[in-house]
Structure formats: structure tokens, C-alpha cells
Amino acid sequence: MADLFAHSAGSPLLWGTFFVLLTVMLALDLGVFHRREHVVKSREAAIWTAVWILLSLAFGAWIWFEDGRQPALEYFTGYLIEKSLSVDNIFVFIVIFRYFRVPARYHHRVLYWGILGALVMRGFFIVLGAALVSRFDWVLYLFGAFLVYTGVKIIVHRGTDVHPENNPVVRFFQRFVPLTHDYRGKAFAVHEGGRWLATPLLLVLAVVEVTDVVFATDSIPAIFGITHDPFLVFTSNIFAILGLRALYFLLADLMDRFVYLSYGLGTVLAFIGVKMLAHGWVELPIEASLGVVAGVLVLSVGASLLWPPQEDPAEKRGEGGDEPPS
């Protein structure tokens, strides 16, 4: 483990600052600003989105000051890729919350605890990935081939097809976990009739956690295509998903407008995959990678806004009820 982090850009000061900042912000988020369950409005979501983005950019600027231009640009590129891929997460979260008819006032609670779990799982995957890459160079080719395949698949199928009813977690809960028939406020479990029962909110949280694991199989290899430094991979990844909740509440009602974004995300993944496959022969400067990623994403978002779809989006199912689907 010591050898793994020996050449990391993250000094003890940077690692310590990151974890202190992470702990303080998470405590303020749930313990102060969101102590009471409520529906997060666009203005509040916009403020928190801006806060997380500014913190992420400021941390990257500090990396530049402490360790130089190259590590900072690698951090910024990884952050941009992760932030963009998180839009796919938002689409899936929307589908999950609609399917289970989760009351809007509990969305933040589910996403908060879901992202705490994601922090732990992403950390595990990043350490594992860094260990594999440092020991076996051929793993980069495996990651690259997987990213090219995933990128082409996203482009061909125009994004991610989501069917919560087929999720193995749902089947497991239905078969082995005693569930209440409706939501019990913000509780994940209740004690009734002499035994503990899970509420549908716990089922939704479990589905969100497993969904993040699936997305991590795309996003983490993509960052290793930019940098092999565990500190840069971890911090860019974590900062991107920390702002995911606020971005969800900001963009949830606008997701149908970004019709060409899936093509952009697929292109970015395929580009990073090709870069990894060719790393033994061609070394692309980090500035070029950042320019390609940013350019593709700007073009896909711009095209979505300039040429919106002619057909009306599918009507949304109601979210106000307290009873999940049976």
C-alpha cells in the first residue's frame, strides 16, 4: 500500500485537507442545512450546486499551487468526466424515484445516504484499480476496451435503459426481506408486531447503491485513462459525486431536453478508451484530452438546446403518493 501511494501528487497536507473539508461539508449539509425533510427547490439546488463546483475548482487550484500544472490539469479533466457521467446517474435516479413513487421530500435523504455509501465503495474500487494498474500494465488495455465497448453501446442505444422492476435488489427484497406496504415517514425500518420491518425507502436506497456500483464500472476506468495517481483519481471522483444531489434537484425537470448528451457521453468514454489502448504508442497531452472532453460535451449540450426534439416527452407518473408499486 505504501508503494501504491509513494508517487502520488497528494501530500499529507492535501490528503488531510481533503478529508477535513469532506467531513465538515457533509456534516453541514445534513446536520445544519437539511435537518428537516423538505422538498428541495430550484434556488436552493442552484446554490448548493454552485458551492460544490466552486469548492471543487478551488481544490484543483490548490493542487496547482502545491504540485504544479500537470497534476492540476489531470484533476480538472477527471472531474469534468465524472461530473458529466453523473448526469446519467441523475436520469436513473429520476426513473427509480418515479417507479417507487418516493415522496419528493424524501429524495434528499435517500441521495444523501446513498452517496455516503458510494464514497466508501468508490474508495474501495479506486484502491483496487490503482493496485491493478501499478502491478499489471495490461489492465489499462482491458479498461480501454471496456470503455470503447461501453461508449459505442451508449451511442447506439442512446443512453441507459432502466427497468427497476428487473433489478436483482428488488427481487431479493421481495423474496427475503419483510417490507411494510407503504412509506413510514423518513424511516428506513420500523419495529411493528414484535419484529423489524424494512420500509420501501430502504429498498430504494439499496437500489440507488447498487446502481452507483454499476456506474462506477464506467467512471473509474475512465479516470484511470487520464491519470494513474490515486489521489487525483479519488478526489476528482468524490468531488463530482458530492455535488450529485444538488445537481439532481437542479436538473431533474430538465433532463428530457438534453437529448444529445448521451451521444456526447458515449463519445467521451470511447475517446478515453482509445487513448488507453494507444497509450503504449501515442502519448496524448493532458491539454488535448481536456479540450476534447470539454468540446464534445459543450457540443452535445448545445445541440440539445438548439435542436430540441419535436415530440413531447413522455408524461411523468405522479410522485406525490406515499404508496410504492406493489
pLDDT of residue 315: 45
What was the pLDDT predicted at 76?
93
pLDDT-based confidence at residue 10 (cuts at 50, 70, 90): low
Grid cell of 301 as nine digits: 449540450
Q: What torsion do the CA atoms of 115, 121, 124, 126 make, to the nearest 10 degrees?
A: -60
Q: Is residue 104 part of a domain?
A: yes
Q: Give mean pLDDT, residues 195-210.
A: 90
Percentage of the chain beyond pLDDT 70 is 86
C-alpha cell at 130: 490503482
Q: State residue 108 phi and psi, 5-degree precision.
A: -60, -40
Q: pLDDT (tens digit, 9 = 90+) per residue, 58-101?
A: 999 988 988 888 999 999 999 998 888 877 778 888 888 888 89
Q: What is the pLDDT of residue 118?
A: 84
Q: What is the pLDDT of residue 74?
A: 92
Q: What is the pLDDT of residue 310?
A: 65
pLDDT at 36 (0 to 100): 66
**Domain contains 326:** no
> What is the distance between the terminal CA atoms of the chain, rounded to a whole angstrom?
47
Region 90-116 average pLDDT: 86
Q: Is the pLDDT of residue 218 over 80?
A: no
Is 322 contained in some domain? no
Number of domains into which the chain is organized? 1
- Tell me the residue type at 248: Y
Residue 252 has pLDDT above 50, yes or no: yes
pLDDT interval class at 326 (50, 70, 90): low
Residues 6+ apart with CB under 8 A from 219: 81, 82, 85, 237
Is 153 within the bounds of a domain? yes
DSSP 225: T
Q: What is the pLDDT of residue 295?
A: 92
- C-alpha 11/C-alpha 187 separation (Å) is 41
Q: What is the mean pLDDT of the chain?
A: 81
Q: Is there a domain that residue 323 lies in?
A: no
123 within a domain of the structure (yes/no): yes
Structural domain of 246: 12-306
Q: Among candidates 56, 117, 71, which has minimal Cα distance to 239?
A: 56
DSSP secondary structure of 74-126: HHHHHHHHHHHHHHHHHHHHHHHHHHTT--GGGHHHHHHHHHHHHHHHHHHHH
Give the E-state strand segments of 159-278 in sequence order.
Answer: 189-192, 195-198
Q: Which grid cell is 91?
A: 436520469
Contact present, 109 and 31 (Cβ < 8 Å)? no
Q: Is residue 321 included in any domain, yes or no?
A: no
Within-domain flag for 272 = yes
Decide: helix, strand or coil at residue 179.
strand
DSSP 291-324: HHHHHHHHHHHHHHHHS--SSPPPPPPP---S--
Q: What count of Cα atoms within 13 Å lies in the side-chain half-sphere of residue 317?
A: 13
Q: State yes or no: pLDDT of 289 exceeds 70.
A: yes
Beta bridge partners of 179: 198
- Using the predicted structure, report yes or no on whether residue 124 has a pLDDT greater than 80: yes
